[in-house]
Structure 1
């Protein structure tokens, strides 16, 4: 660990004068002064206690600003302040021959800045967390080599409840259609289809097959948002922050019904952990959209069997790519919206009140009259879900999917 600070110091600006700290008048002068003090201490021999104390003041104060009102009301300047606070705190943790626990705390601090803050200094937090993560991997490898009998945790395998797909209800399939063919036959008429063979080249399916072990190796120590609950419409549904290792241990390996169902579902994962982003590619068919490539939202969906996404619709086109495990999916046309009984509240107006596989026909009598298509999506397959099409998803087993939302 002794060399860690020299690696971090090497990626920081060479001196205090070249370390940028510029904010609008929305940030109080007292806060800017504290940031300048932290910057000065970064380049001086101040005691570690003083560096940590001042950095924590910045983190705590800006955190309060981030949690006042709704997220869209938070000014970006305060998100930048929070990121600077996280940078100073991570540096303070790693300054003087840090322990393994302090390095992990620094990783979590950087992740909080990446999740809740705004990019600063050419994404400096991402640069630093890569250095820290390499140190964590190195230490883990050394510990493993010292251990004569490394512990192997086995995943409890459950046989999935796989529905029988009737021919007339099956989502059509096509292998590697041309752009013109896909555009004419599916995109313009907004028809669902399963595309086969279009992601076979992904490293996630070849060079770096995604697995529990692989996720631990590239992201185990990283802190990510986790949804707790089998579906987001449940009253007990909530969100929390866990490391990927904690999530796997709690909800995948040592699956305990008393803890509920945990699901890693977020759009920042691939920006936060570039190693995973390098394992996937945008489907070529996204070029048929009207938006720019930067406007495409890439989402990660990772969790155990039994996790359900209630029947809902999205405002964009969707390619759902299955990488690990399988999912049962049912699709309804927006023409049948009235038969699907959307929630009346503005918050859930895009979500149906009906439990698709166990409908209450007394409360929702028209639901059974709505026509649908269904499929079991397997690894290597991509489902095109047209804009506004209602879709219900149930993971049949341990599953990792990637979705691309585009216009």
Structure 2
């Protein structure tokens, strides 16, 4: 770890003059002065203790600003202040031959900046976290090898796969042309399973996704986790965990817990570029009206039994299955009145009906709604047209990637 600070210093601006700290008048002058003091310490022989004190003041104050009111009303200036605070805290942790625990704390600090802050200095926190990860991998190599050996002994039980009746099955197409997909499915808004269109993904070839692989590229990274079998449950909540902690607690159940946890977020691939490099945008997204930057890429990783209640989304969706299998049922938006959406504004896009165990007395019309269904296997991509209602249940340990586009 002795050389770590020199590696971090090498990616920082070369001096104070080239380290910009420009903010609008929304950020108090006293806060800007504190930021400048921390910047000055970066290029001096200040102790880690004094660096940490100033960094923590910046973080505590900006954290209050981030948590006042709704997130969409948080000014980006305060998100930038928070990111700078994270940068200064990382410097305090790593400037004096840090321990493994201090480096892990620095990784978490970078992740908090990436999740809650805004990019500063050409997204320097992303650059630094890669340097830190490299150090963590070196120091924990033997421990990782022991854990990987343990994981390899774990057998994932064979799931009970529902039988899909032919008349209810989602149609399948193998590598249709852009014109064929556009004419037969996109324009008429018809669901279809596309086969063979992601066979070239590294996630299915050079870097096959698995628990071991996820640990190796992201084990020490802190990510948001949904706790509960479905987001409509009263006990559903969100928390922050390392990927290793999530795997141990919710995938391998090392602590004996029975709660279900799900790693479901759109920032994962920006936060961990190694995973983003393992996937590709489906070619068919080019048929949309927006730019490539307008496509939202989501990660969905969790154990068998996790459920996405029957709901609809405002964009087209390609759901790509990488690991494990999922049972999916789809309903046309034309039958919305038979699906009993929640009346609240928050859940108006979600049905009240428990799809596989419906209350026929409360929801008598539900049984009359026609639907299509499928079991999505690794390497397959399901096209879910805009506003189509869909219910998803993981049949086993599952990793999926969805692409929302317009």
| Band the TM-score falls in, shorter-chain normalisation | over 0.9
State the distance in 2 between where 1:319 and 1:24 align: 40
Partner of 2:241: 242
Residue 4 (str. 1) matches residue 4 (str. 2): yes
Cα distance per residue 1:320-354 (max 9 Å; x no partner): 00000000000000000000000000000000000
State the distance in 2 between where 1:150 and 1:230 align: 27
State the distance in 1 between where 2:229 and 2:183 align: 37
Cα gap change, 1:80/1:182 in structure 2, threshold over 3 Å: closer, same or farther?
Answer: same
Instruction: Kindly indicate whether the alpha-carbon contact (under 8 Å) linking 2:338 and 2:368 is maintained by their aligned counterparts in 1.
Output: yes
State the distance in 1 between where 2:315 and 2:403 align: 9
Cα gap change, 1:150/1:111 in structure 2, threshold over 3 Å: closer, same or farther?
Answer: closer
Q: What's the TM-score, normalizing by structure 1?
A: 0.98
Gaps of 5+ in 2: none
Q: Give how far 1:159 is off.
A: 3.4
Instruction: Kindly indicate whether the alpha-carbon contact (under 8 Å) linking 1:187 and 1:386 is maintained by their aligned counterparts in 2.
Output: yes
State the distance in 2 between where 1:251 and 1:223 align: 15
Instruction: Kindly indicate whether the alpha-carbon contact (under 8 Å) linking 2:250 and 2:257 is maintained by their aligned counterparts in 1.
Output: no
Cα gap change, 1:128/1:374 in structure 2, threshold over 3 Å: closer, same or farther?
Answer: same
State the distance in 2 between where 1:103 and 1:110 align: 11
Partner of 1:140: 140
Runs of 4+ more than 6 Å apart? none
Residue 103 (str. 1) matches residue 82 (str. 2): no
Partner of 1:126: 126
Q: Give how far 1:150 is off.
A: 8.0
Q: Give how far 1:256 is off.
A: 6.3
Q: Give how far 1:138 is off.
A: 1.0
Q: Give how far 1:217 is off.
A: 0.2
Q: Give how far 1:79 is off.
A: 0.2
State the distance in 1 between where 2:369 and 2:143 align: 57
Q: Give how far 1:162 is off.
A: 1.7
Cα gap change, 1:334/1:178 in structure 2, threshold over 3 Å: closer, same or farther?
Answer: same
State the distance in 2 between where 1:171 and 1:144 align: 42
Q: Give how far 1:168 is off.
A: 0.2
Of residues 258-267 and 336-345 in structure 1, the stretch that sits farther from structure 2 once superposed is 258-267
Matched residue count: 405
Cα gap change, 1:257/1:192 in structure 2, threshold over 3 Å: closer, same or farther?
Answer: farther
Partner of 1:302: 301
State the distance in 2 between where 1:16 and 1:150 align: 44
Partner of 2:38: 38
Q: CA RMSD in A?
A: 1.3
Residue 370 (str. 1) matches residue 372 (str. 2): no
Instruction: Kindly indicate whether the alpha-carbon contact (under 8 Å) linking 2:318 and 2:404 is maintained by their aligned counterparts in 1.
Output: yes
Cα gap change, 1:59/1:259 in structure 2, threshold over 3 Å: closer, same or farther?
Answer: farther
Instruction: Kindly indicate whether the alpha-carbon contact (under 8 Å) linking 1:316 and 1:405 is maintained by their aligned counterparts in 2.
Output: yes
Cα distance per residue 1:156-180 (max 9 Å; x no partner): 6333232110000000000000000
State the distance in 1 between where 2:16 and 2:167 align: 69
Partner of 2:60: 60
Partner of 2:160: 161
State the distance in 2 between where 1:255 and 1:309 align: 25
State the distance in 2 between where 1:207 and 1:398 align: 20
SS at match of 2:322: strand
Cα distance per residue 1:366-397 (max 9 Å; x no partner): 00000000000000000000000000000000
SS at match of 2:150: coil
Partner of 2:230: 231
Give the 5 Å matches for 1:248-259: 248-254=247-253, 258-259=257-258
Residue 327 (str. 1) matches residue 334 (str. 2): no
Q: Give how far 1:254 is off.
A: 2.0
Partner of 2:73: 73
Partner of 1:394: 393
State the distance in 2 between where 1:231 and 1:142 align: 37
State the distance in 1 between where 2:169 and 2:325 align: 16
Residue 152 (str. 1) matches residue 166 (str. 2): no
State the distance in 2 between where 1:24 and 1:393 align: 45
State the distance in 1 between where 2:309 and 2:278 align: 28
